[in-house]
Structures are given as C-alpha cells and as structure tokens.
Chains A and B, each alone.
Chain A
Amino acid sequence: MQMNDTRDIKADPAIVWAALLDPEVLKACIPGCQEMTGSPEEGFEAVVVQKVGPVKATFKGAVSVSDIVPGESCTISGEGKGGAAGFAKGGAKVALAPTAEGTQLSYEVEAHVGGKLAQLGSRLIDGFARKMADQFFERFQNVVEGEDDTEAPPEVAEVKKSWLKRLVSS
C-alpha cells in the first residue's frame, strides 16, 4: 500500500518540525494511541489500539526516525505487532517546506500488513490507512495551528495547551 499527499499547515516549519517529533503530540494525534514514549534519537515505543474491518487488535511496536535533516525532512519507520491479528509495518518520508502561510508538509507512506490483517482485511487496508492519515493530520494541524477548536477531541485540546507551553518555555 502506498500513499502520497501534501498538507498546508498554518504554522512555521520550526513549530511543525518540533511537533512532529514530540511523543506527546504524536500520542494525541495518532488515532487509537494509548502510549507513546521515547525520543527521536532513541526511537519511540508505542501502543495503538485499532480496528481494521473485522480485526481489532492492540499493536505494540517500535518507531524509529532516520535520515533526519533538522527542520526539513526525515523518515519515520515502524512495525507494530498485533498478536493474533498479525502485524503492520511501514515507513513515511516526511518533508517540510516553508510557504507564505506557514508550511507545506508532504509525505510518502508505504505500509504492509501481515497475518490475519492481510488475510481478512487486505482490501480494507487502503481505505483504512487513508482514514488514519486524514485523522492524524487533522489532529496534528489542530495542535500546531493553535486555533481554538471546541470540537477537537479532549486529548488533542489538552496536548495543545501543554505542548505550546513547553515549546514557548524551552
């Protein structure tokens, strides 16, 4: 499964970059993310609960960030094991470019699934991955653009405050 897209974000590349590698932000933005710890340098550990078609599973996995060009681009790769549900693994090449209104974020995602996920859900995976990506970036945009949004999920609203605070204080 492959997916390419771009997003225009009304925030400076520096802010987008910092958010992209912040475990708290990622936890809030990744749909179904229960835990997210670690750092870009050492890699992240994540627990994500998701349902793909008929298969619901808790994915535990490691996420690493490589090819880092600070403020510009990186490759995020990970593999999650979902026990009897199988596994999902993939990578995203993310690049940031400044625009008049903020940042253009472009990404190329490649993902594979195996085991029961592939057996039962293969034809649902494309749609599922697109939905995940859309939800992720919607939340991400919400966090980094810093606008008030009463409809945002509570975890997004919460991280928005704390993350901005940390960003400002650092």
Chain B
Amino acid sequence: MPKDHGIGASTKRREDVRFLTGKGRYTDDININGQAYAWFVRSDVAHGTLNGVDTADAAAMPGVLRIFTGADFEAVGGIPCGWQVTDRKGEVMLEPRHPVLAHGKVRHVGDPIAVVVAETLEQARDAAEAVVPDITELEPVLDMKAAVQGGPLVHDEIGSNLCYDWGFVEENKEAVDAAIKGAHHVTTLELVNNRLIANPMEPRVAVGDYAQHDDSSTLYTTSQNPHVIRLLMGAFVLGIPEHKLRVVAPDVGGGFGTKIFHYAEEAFVTFAAKELKRAVKWTATRSEAFISDAHGRDHVTKIELALDADGHFLALRTDTYANMGAYLSTFAPSVPTWLHGTLMAGNYKTPLIYVNVKAVFTNTVPVDAYRGAGRPEATFQLERVIDKAAREMGVDPIELRRKNFITEFPYATPVAVEYDTGDYHATMDKLLEIADVAGFDARLAKSKANGKLRGLGMNCYIEACGIAPSNLVGQLGARAGLYESATVRVNATGGLVVMTGSHSHGQGHETSFPQVIAEMIGIDENMVEIVHGDTANTPMGMGTYGSRSLAVGGSAMVRATEKIIAKAKKIAAHILEASDADIELKDGSFTVAGTDKSLAWGDVCLAAYVPHNYPLADLEPGLEETAFYDPANFTYPSGAYACEVEVDPETGKVTIERFAAADDFGNIVNPMIVDGQVHGGIAQGIGQALMEGASYDEAGQLVSGSYMDYTMPRADDLPFYTVDHSCQTPCTHNPLGVKGCGEAGAIGSPPSVVNAVVDALQRAGHTNVTHIDMPLSPARVWAAMQG
C-alpha cells in the first residue's frame, strides 16, 4: 500500500491550487503606490563603440521622470561574477568589468544602454524610442575558435577573448596522452552542445522600492535565490549594507537556472528607486527575455575514448570551447569546469581522464547555468562517444557500458569526486524492463511496414548535485558558501512555520517539505507552512539550483526539527515528571517509555509559550530553532534512459515514440512530485535534442529571437513517459538519504534521443551517419540521410 501521508506519499501539491486558479502572487502582481515604470533601451548591434546617448528629445516627452545612462553608474560597482576559475598555469581567469548600463562600448544585441523612467509604462516606452544612442559599429566576434585566434576583442582592456584555459586534471595530461596513443582502439567524436534559451513561463520582473523614513531599499525580483542577490547587489554593486536591503522573490514562474543570476535590471530598479524616491518597476517583454536572460550550454567539443581489445575504457580526453557570451554571468565560469569536468567519469571505471576547456568571450548574450548546468554537456559527450565506440568495435552498447560500470562504492573518480552510492546495473536492469527492450524488434517490424525508420537509443548518466560542501567549492573558486538554512518555528497552538533559504519556483517545496516534518513529528502535513523567498523573514540561504533543495535545504530543516524535538522532549519530560531520555515522540504524542503516560504535541507547544509549568531554570521558553546545513559531499543521482524514435525517411522528421527513465534518486519524499520533475526535465532534454537552438547571424543578430523561430517542445511533441525510481541507493551523508531529482531528466535524455536517431539511420543502411548535431531538425536528419 502506498502511504497517504508523510515521507513517501504522493501528496497533491498544495501550491497548485493558487497557481491553477490565478491566485499566485508573482513579482508583476506587486504594485507599489506611486511606482514609476522603467523601459530599457538596448543595443541593436552586436558590437560597437558607444560614443554617447542623446536623451534630450526623450527627456522632454510627457511623463518622463529621468533617463539614466551608463554615466549614472560610474560611481557604483559592476555586476560581479560569483566564481573565479584558475587556469592550467595557475593564473586566475580574465574578468572584465560588467557595467550596469553600457559605457563606452556595446557588446551584444540586448546590452542595456539607457533606461527611461516615466509615470506610465506607455510613456516610458514612447520616450525610449526617442533616445538615440550614437554607436560606431565594430566587427563582432561570434565563432569561439575565431575569437581566440585573433578575432576582434570583446573587451579591449583585458587584451584577449580567452577567459581561461582550464586543464583537469592537469597532472594526468601526459598519462592520458600516452594511454590514448598506445590504445587498441580510439573513438573520436566532434560535437556541439547547442545553445539554449531557458524560456521560463514568467519573464523576469524587478520592482525597486525605497523607504525614506529608514533609508532602506527593497527589491522584488524573479529570483531563485534572494539572499544571493542581496549579497551580490548590496555588497558589490550598490554598496547598500544588508540590514538596509531586503530582497523578495515571491511566486516565481519557473527558473531553470536563468533566474539564479544577478542581473543589471535588478540593480537598476533598486538604484533608480533611491534616486527618484519612488518605486520603479520593470517587466521584461518576451522579446527582451530572449536577448537579456542568460543563455545555456553552447559548447563545442572533441572527445576521444581509448579502449583495450576487450572494450575496457582506458582513457578519456576532451577538448571543449565554452561560450561565455559578452560578460561573465554570476556562475558562468563554474559551469564548463567544476560542474562539467568532474562528471566526465560518468558511471564508468575510466582510470585516466583529461578535460581541457577554453572559455571564450563573444559578442553574444552571456551564457550561464541552465537545467543541469555542465552535467548535460558532460553526459552528452560521454554517452555519445560510448555509443559510437560500441558501433565501431561491433559490440552491444549496453554490454560495453555494463563492462565498464563502477560497481564498488564509495568510488573515487580520477576527476576529483567520490561517489557515495549507486547501483548502475540495477537501474539498467530496470530500464530494460520498463522500456520493454525485448519487444523492440516487433515494434521495428511494424514501423518498417509503415515505411518508417525506427531506432532505439540508450544511455546512462550520473550527476553531482545537492551542491555542495562550502570548503570544497571555496577551494574551487566559489565566492560563496553553499550551505542551506531553515528556521522551524512552532506556534503555541502546535502549528509550524518553516522559514527556509530554499526557494520554490515549481519544485513543490510547499508540499514536500511539510511531508518530512509531519513524518518526523507525527502530525498532519497541513499543520506545517513553508515560508521562503524573503530575506526579511528567512535565514541566510543560498537558494535553489543544482537539485539541492531537499538534499541541502531539506537537511537543514531536518536538523532544525531535530532540535525542536529534543527541546520538546525536555518540556514533555518536565510535565510528565520523567527523564527526557525516556520520552518518545510517536504519532504526535509524547510518551514515557514503558508507561501509559502521554502528552499531546499541542500541549507541549502551548507549554513552551505559556510556561507556567516549565523548567525555566534550565530551558528557555519558546519553541523555535534554526539550523544551517553544509553537506559533506555532493549527491550522485544516476540512472539509465531509453528512447525509441521513428524517422520519416521522406522528410527527416523525428517522432519520439517511447521514452523510459529508470532513476536512482535515493530516498523519495513525494513520488508524484519526482515524476513531475523527471517529466519536465525530459521535455527540456527532448527540446534540446530535437528542436531548440539559439542562432545568431553573421552580424550577431539573434535570429531565433521569438517563438516563431525558437522551437519549444509542446505536449504533442512528447510521448507518455515511463519513469521509475524504485532503484534506491540512499545518499550516505545527508539525514534524509535523498539525492535530488530536479535536473536528471534534462541531463539524461538528449544522448538517448540522438543515439536513437543514429540507430534508426544505421539500421536503414545509412552506415556513414555516426553523429548529427542537435537540434535534430528534419532538415539536418534529412541532409544526413542524403550524405
């Protein structure tokens, strides 16, 4: 019997009631008395010298309060980068200045140049048309290899477009080169990890407010991590101390990584509100989102896998160019390095690995983390090259994987991480069952009869999430800690409020977090309320990304609840006249072991706040505890995915016929929410594999800048998924034994889609087709069949 409450129950998401009935309170729903409206004037060229901005006509237009340009921000800091990577030679990365508004130069289409603040949105927009930037166009640099081979400089002052040249593990390089040189077989693959645009349903919004009575600023923003924004913006950009700055991220309509970062618009509205002494609101249009939200992926890679005659992996070498765009977004440098290189062992016992990454500036929108962040890029290369190797060596791709699986844990990889648990054979066995691989031949015959090409693709994945130990990431260049926090406040009448640093923007924390507390105390889930997203009423927390909320934020909540329970037991012991060591808490009731004496949860809570019969000499009144949790390691979810496609030989159109995912997420709190997270991740993975691709023309114009040209997956593009998470090897180092499930679907799915399409073409006799770059549009697949 599945549970109907507590840990393991598929409790329906309580937040969906307000989301689905239009009662959510998003940033754009926040309107402050007297607020003015901001409209950004953005560069419509990719690269140019900004000689000046003529604002005279615009300033005279109706309703205009003030027009800001780069000159207004000379006295404040630039947008900071949160991660400093050290290169192969021990030198720190090149870190160009990132002004709030462009000054002297524009560096990508969408670079903000000026902002009109007016009484109404329409007035701001009309006046913005009259702002005339004087730009002398410069040749843009778009191709990463050209950028590091003497192309035009994006940032003249740093003298290079190469942000860093990272080698990992540098000490292994010679051994890896030697192993590849002497190997029985080497499989080489060159591939592109296509540039993506996150496209959360809710575009970004920022409302700045300023209170004259206490000289404090408030920013309402669409963020996954309000405390991080407060720290970065307050300390590094505007110089506002944290006690004078509040950041609120209310309901947020999807983030997928792109709402982690601190953006210029946030700093702008906060700054302008203080200057104008009134609130200032900015709401992105969808067109603006395309050219101002950080993009994702955009790697170009050459990967080489060396094998012995029996198919054992001997060594792996990769050479990657990673696009940073025009400026360093908050966590951009970490994505192609520590979130990518450390994952190159995958599920396999490859003894020698060397990863080289060149991060490059180009005249494009900045690139940063997008669902999976580095790990999809790692998984895609590895699982594609293994499939290619199996084909070249004439062995079964599943058997080749199984032969190389890591089977003993903990396992220290040659790329600096230690997997605590996993069972890769178990997830593969489960996959073969749920994907009905045995029935593939029959389905293949049916497709053939219908004139379609059918293919089956599989892959494994491992990811490192639940980021992360602060001392470790500090050594790796993070300029932040990566703990999480929770304050658990028990009210006098027994209900609880959990104030968590984890932010929920689709993950269902408001439902799953109470399930954990309800289980621990033995009370109804509805007695627990989750408060998040406001720096004024939550403890300092690092926010939601990297599938970390339950593993790190949930662990902090467990620790705080454990403190609550320990104190409550002392109160109960006093009232029941017993030793607190003898008190047991079960089903919301405190009992003295071995007796029938008991006290209800609510009675203890009341006693804590009405301490008439209370051990005041030994114990403070009240029942409220805070815990900060810093994980000992990453968590390592893993799994095996299978995709079956049909390809139309006439048009090259790919249809996903079946998709199965067998994941090991450790323990599961809410299976329904986990299913939903996997479904969403797979949809985005299939989107990357078949449809999505940001495309710039030779002048640096984003030509896939709307939904007419940037194809998002829709319901009718996707099959019913078969997902299973019954293989569970609990994480050994967090109290819930959970691993995180938010990114797995997006990490695990693209390689199986591409493997399936290549398989379909190979089976149809197109034996020269060993790879097609994503997105596998009908045109690309058709062209591959003609070659």
Contacts and interface: CB of A to CB of B under 8 A. Distances in A.
Contacts of A7: none
- Binding site of A, secondary structure by majority: helix, strand, loop or mixed? helix
A122 B44 contact: no
A84 B705 CA distance: 15
A114 B44 contact: yes
Interface in B669-725: 697, 699, 701-703, 705-706, 708-709
A112 B290 CA distance: 20
Given A87-B44, A114-B45, A119 B701 contact: yes
Contact of A83 (B129, B290, B291, B703): B129
Which of A83, A84, A86, A123 has the largest count of B CB atoms less than 10 A from its CB? A84
Nearest to B700: A114
Contact of A119 (B125, B291, B699): B291
Interface residues on B, range: 10 to 19
A114 B291 CA distance: 13
Contacts of A114: 44-45, 109, 699, 701
A113 B701 contact: yes
B703 A119 contact: yes
A95 to B, nearest CB: 26
A122 B287 contact: no
Which of B44, B109, B130, B697 has the largest count of A CB atoms less than 10 A from its CB? B44
B128 interface: yes
Nearest to A119: B705
B128 A120 contact: no
Interface in A105-119: 112-116, 118-119
Interface residues on A, range: 10 to 19
Contact of A118 (B128, B129, B697): B697
Interface in A12-30: none
Contacts of A86: 44
Given A87-B44, A123-B703, A123-B708, A115 B109 contact: yes
Contacts of A122: 697, 701, 703, 705, 709
B107 to A, nearest CB: 15
A170 B45 CA distance: 45
B706 A120 contact: yes
Contacts of A112: 699
Interface in B287-307: 287, 290-291
A119 to B, nearest CB: 3
B703 A116 contact: no
Contacts of A123: 703, 708-709
A1 to B, nearest CB: 10
Contacts of B44: 86-87, 114-116
Contacts of A116: 44, 287
Nearest to A120: B706
Nearest to A113: B701
Contacts of B708: 120, 123
Which of A86, A112, A115 has the largest count of B CB atoms less than 10 A from its CB? A115
B287 A118 contact: no
Given A83-B129, A84-B128, A86-B44, A118 B709 contact: no
Interface string B38-72: 00000011000000000000000000000000000
Contacts of A83: 129-130
Interface in B240-270: none
A118 B45 contact: no
A49 to B, nearest CB: 14
Contacts of B703: 118-119, 122-123
28 contacts: A84-B125, A112-B699, A113-B701, A114-B45, A114-B109, A114-B701, A115-B109, A115-B701, A116-B44, A116-B287, A118-B109, A118-B697, A118-B699, A118-B701, A118-B705, A119-B287, A119-B291, A119-B701, A119-B702, A119-B703, A120-B287, A120-B706, A120-B708, A122-B697, A122-B701, A122-B703, A122-B709, A123-B703
Interface of B: 44-45, 109, 125, 128-130, 287, 290-291, 697, 699, 701-703, 705-706, 708-709
Given A114-B45, A119-B702, A120-B287, 8 more contacts: A84-B129, A118-B109, A119-B290, A119-B291, A119-B705, A122-B697, A122-B703, A123-B708
